[in-house]
Structure 1
Amino acid sequence: MKKLFMSLFSTALRIATALGMIAIYANALSLEQFTHLAVGLLCAQITCIFVDGGVNNEILRSARLESIAQNAKRLYESIAARLAVSTAISICLVMYNLLTTTWDNTVISLAAFFSGVLSSINETNLVNLKATNRFKDELINSTAQSALIISISCFVLISPGLAALSILFPRLFTTGVLLRGIGKNNMRKIRNRMSIKSVFGYYTRLKHYTLDSVFSNLGAQLDAILISVLIGKEAFAIYQPTSRVLSSSLNLGGVIGALVIPRATTLHSDKNIKHYLLGSFFVFGLVVAALFFVFCNYFLSILFGSIFSPSLDIEIILTFMIIVRFLAAGAGSYLTIKGQQKKRAIINAICAVSAVVFTVMYGYFYHINIEVILRILLALQVVMMIFYVLSVVKYVESVFID
């Protein structure tokens, strides 16, 4: 129970820090500047979906079963591959921004992009600390990061011109601390792995984890992607705080996952593993959904202003979405333990592609808004959850060929 509270507190602290940071920038910057910051963070989230390679799932499954040297090697490979691919993508982002907006907005967007990428790398390190039973270290790291990020972000309240520096510097510093913690000569070890051969080998090794992670995380970000593409960047900027609260609520699944997945691997009865995972995720999901429904609107009104608060209908849709995704996460965790990432990837791919197709077709024939997009996504995520659960109880085992 002590470990649960330490992990829950450290995760909640990081969530509060991210929301507080966004609130600071939303109040300090103009809507145009905040829009470019929000789009930069969204580009980072999308990039991380495709370049993280599912390493967090691999860590949760393998961290307690491997040596310290193997664990460090996995982190080195992950950091090298993600930095190499993200740097290439950032060049495209800069070129697009220079053609469509001012230099100042380009710098803000690029700083937000790398801030998101480095945040993802740091999050992997925290997942690794959880998976290796170092919850106290996770709490210490989270507290130090939060204090640094919020204190430096406040500089933008003094001068909006400091936006790029204040959003990027804390992430650069915490990444440097992370690298020191992994071991000596870390930059050399990372640099040696930043080659096409090494990056290709990294993703080849993680192929089923990668496919599973891409479609799973893509499904979690489809609301932000579809809203920004089909409705516009300004609409996404207004929805972004709500999206961040939703993502943060779903990320709380990492707390329960880091505790129950490693423990589930030690259970001998297959039936007990299923009940343990499904029950833990479902109960925790109900708690998170209830907190989201009660506090989301009030919380966003205070931090961001009434313009950023979701309607009651949107709040209800997102509440049910949280419950559905937590139950799907419980079933998906069982498939991960059993080495069925390919099965998860197939289900996620079908649902993610279907959601995009249905939403685009609806927008072509009818007027579309944020609520309609979220209703379509909720329906497809219910389908995904049903397939997950059916796969776990082996009712559709014959449909998927390993």
Structure 2
Amino acid sequence: MPVTATSTLSPTHAIETAYQLAQNHFAKLGIDTDSVIQAVDNIPISIHCWQGDDVRGFENPDQTLSGGIQATGNYPGRARTPEELRQDLNQAFNLIPGCKRLNLHALYLEADEPVSRDHIRPEHFANWVEWAKKTGTGLDFNPSCFSHPLSEDGMTLSHPDPVIRRFWIDHCKASRRISEYFGKELGTPSVMNIWVPDGMKDLPYDRLGPRQRLMASLDEIIAEPIDVKYHKDAVESKLFGIGAEAYTVGSNEFYLGYASSRDILLCLDAGHFHPTEVISDKISACSLYVKEFLLHVSRPIRWDSDHVVLLDDETQAIANEVVRHQLLNRVNIGLDFFDASINRIAAWVIGTRNMRKALLKAMLEPQHQLQHAEIDGDYTARLAWMEESRTAPWSAVWDYYCHQHGVPVGIDWLQHVKAYEETILRHREG
């Protein structure tokens, strides 16, 4: 038989050829893929620092987690110092395309001597600001109302003891000043999210009193005006937590009412609802009542277990809702998971890339065709377009996007993580 000559494309040529085919496919639908790539690249995703060290922080790294929070697993290489955590973040950021922010908790302060949480100050986070300036990263913030002796009985801002309540109010006030400092130093507003673990393990007699105290505490915390060009307040609900199975003070109804009546941000966390509830369905409804959102994209398995974000139906539905309804200027996208059973840098990379993939895929939907089919009552065509878009060549656009930004394409990022693990992470103790 005659030998047929074959030619193999170089990796770069293969990526570019696949992109050209995908570009032509989407152009027929009226979608400009170059514009989509530019748009998705500019969407900030706030990456949570606590994935890198299992939510231990640097206040007291040996402290026991409490407040319904657990990090399970003992994979080697946990960051033990601020320097190690920033080193790990740099490695992860180099493998993730697009605009990135970093979300810090108050217990990630750096101080030569122990500092009470109600006395934390901007200077305790100066190193984080310097790192953010060097890396071009915006910073977000959270008061840490858990894993502390004064939170061990499950109450903080709603505590019946005014002395304990005062401590946590002052901690949140101090946190707002730090958040404002981030915004002023970095030229981008810091979103400060307040979540408290307040609740009861068994059935309470009084459900109203704690909520009245929580409302009063929050009102005092946000009373001092701060320019939104530097700082934005957000509040986050939860259905239940470990030790708060029967009653949570800061329920969804409480915080939806509070955020809408105080004109602050509402945080929707994907793991903070009943297992059959999803936040994607809440976004459009809540958008009628609150001006701006914070999203904590996570992955619950049977409860608020904070698994690494997948490119699953709910992640895609969240991205679809934000893009379809043109809410990108009203939604702040953050991540919230912590898995200590796998390489922590890989967890950041997988979860963050998946969130951006979902946003890209949402922007490549045949929106014109879907909208008109629905308006015309042609639900057959609507379903057909939705299903066809699942297998459209969006991944070729993603690969080209990564290639254009000098970020590993496909699974190539994993070899960088494995090399870093062998040279750096496996030499850490504890």
Larger radius of gyration: 2
TM-score under structure 1 length normalisation: 0.31
The structure with more strand, counted as a fraction of residues: 2
TM-score under structure 2 length normalisation: 0.29
The structure with more helix, counted as a fraction of residues: 1
